[in-house]
Amino acid sequence: MAYRGALNFLLKGKECVCSPWIPGVLKASHVIGQTGRFNRKHWARITRTLYTAAPLMVAKLLSVDELFAKSSLQGYLKKMETDYSECLKVINIDGTEEQCSEDELRAKRTRVSMLAPLVHSIRELEAKQKEIAETEALLKDEDPALRELAAMERESCVQDIQELSKKIFELLIPEEEADLSDLVLEVTAGVGGQEAMLFTAEVFDMYQGYAQHNGWSFDILEHMTSDIGGLRHASASITGPQTYKKMKFEAGVHRVQRVPKTEKQGRMHTSTMTVAVLPQPTEISFKINPKDLRIDTKRASGAGGQHVNTTDSAVRIVHLPTVMKWEGIPALRAKLYNMKLEEETSKRYNQRKIQIGTKGRSEKIRTYNFAQDRITDHRIGMTIHDIKSFLLGEDLLDQMNSYLEDFSNQETLMELLEEHQQEGS
């Protein structure tokens, strides 16, 4: 920009004093309180996509300012830079092939490739921090024109730092393979009889509206209605960009508190329904490692014959990890694929059990209170008002899931930093 060029020109004729600067950007527009303690027994490294009634570990959503002020984060970023430099140095030295095996070199090249975007962003951020420190000094200059240019430059630097800081945190959060999957959604009425079934129908419609809001396809697979128009159980296949990533936080027990249409005395009832969100991979990753195979051969035995003890009459292939024995690769491949399929199916079944729990009121992840016109997510202690708009499955549901994703990402980062500290101690 023109003012940037002018400021750089003026900087050459001015003596600048550089002082340390701590980033003061990206302040959170909200700080959400949270009650309860994180229950590691429920979370326990399954994956961060399995949300139960246990509240999240973090007490509040920290600003980037607060996160960067943590010495654990600064230490981790320095370690990433050191790892990158050391790996780069090894793969660029002549004669490395003699010192490292091909597998070791391949691993270091992969490490460099993975760390490059993060390290480059860290270095860009450091350069911007130095630049803004120089600009801060010029804000006190006697020349009004220079002060004005410095203020404009500082504003530009702040925006750049905001973007770089956000990019660094995104790069630090490990990507989950399931986030790229489509999903199967299941809703089931829980405690509360007909009222639970009526609420289940409303929630199912909400997700259909959410799919439409995001431009996803929503194909109903099952739809078991009740006598008065509610839903006992329903399922749907949802496909489109980031479907599982944006829907995974909906899994669990949803509680409704309201006066049912069937209630004649005006008493408030509490009912529940459950939501299961199951990733639907397009294919199962499957590969047989030749190192995992042992080939046993048998030779013919008996008296006479020129081919006796010289020809393999039978070949048996042993898959060492499973100790399975088959005659021929195709048969072995089919068996191993079937085992992998069963394993994936079992994972999804277990995931479904964790998500829906026992359907009890105490396992709730979210409460819909019609009398107070509020929706409260108990995992992050967040409350949104306007139930009618929320049940449309549009902006308010999007907002809730965005906050849940922010908390999840921050929690993942905190666990990453904690593991790094434990390794260093």
Report the CATH number that the domain containing residue 322 is assigned in CATH: 3.30.160.20
All residues at 6 or more sequence positions from 272 whose CB lies less than 8 Å from its CB, including other chains: 190, 191, 192, 196, 253, 254, 255, 256, 359, 360, 361, 364
Whether 421 is covered by a domain: the verdict is: no
Claim to verify: residue 253 and residue 157 sit in the same structural domain: no
Same domain for 224 and 257, yes or no, is yes
Query: What length is written for the chain?
Result: 425
**Of 386, 381, 388, residue with least CA distance to 365:** 381
- Same domain for 21 and 156, yes or no, is yes
Q: How confident is the model at residue 39 (pLDDT cuts 50, 70, 90)?
A: very low
pLDDT tens profile 285-304:
555 666 776 666 655 555 55
Same structural domain for residues 265 and 378? yes
- Which CATH number goes with the domain that contains 389? 3.30.70.1660
Task: Please state the pTM of the whole predicted model.
Answer: 0.65
pLDDT at 334 over 90: no
Same domain, 161 and 196: no
- State which of 172, 200, 222 marks the end of a domain: 172
Query: Please, which pLDDT band fits residue 250 given cuts at 50, 70 and 90?
Result: very high
Looking at the structure, do residues 77 and 163 belong to the same domain, yes or no?
yes
Question: Residue 269 — very low, low, confident or very high, per pLDDT cuts 50/70/90?
Answer: very high
Tens digit of each residue's pLDDT (9 = 90 or more) over 335-370: 555 566 556 656 655 555 555 555 455 568 999 999
**DSSP structural state of residue 46:** S
Chain mean pLDDT for the chain: 75
**Predicted confidence (pLDDT) per residue in 231-242, tens digit:** 999 999 999 998
What band does 9 get if pLDDT is binned at 50, 70 and 90? very low
* pLDDT per residue as tens digits for the range 51-68: 444 455 445 788 888 888
> Within this chain, do residues 244 and 379 fall inside the same structural domain, yes or no?
yes
Domain count for the chain: 3
Q: Do residues 149 and 155 make contact, with C-beta atoms less than 8 angstroms apart?
A: no
Does residue 422 fall inside a structural domain? no
Please indicate, yes or no, if residue 91 is contained in any of the structural domains: yes
Lowest mean pLDDT, pick from 27-31, 291-295, 314-318, 381-385: 27-31
In terms of domains, do 115 and 18 share one?
yes
Residue-number span of the structural domain to which 321 is assigned: 290-344
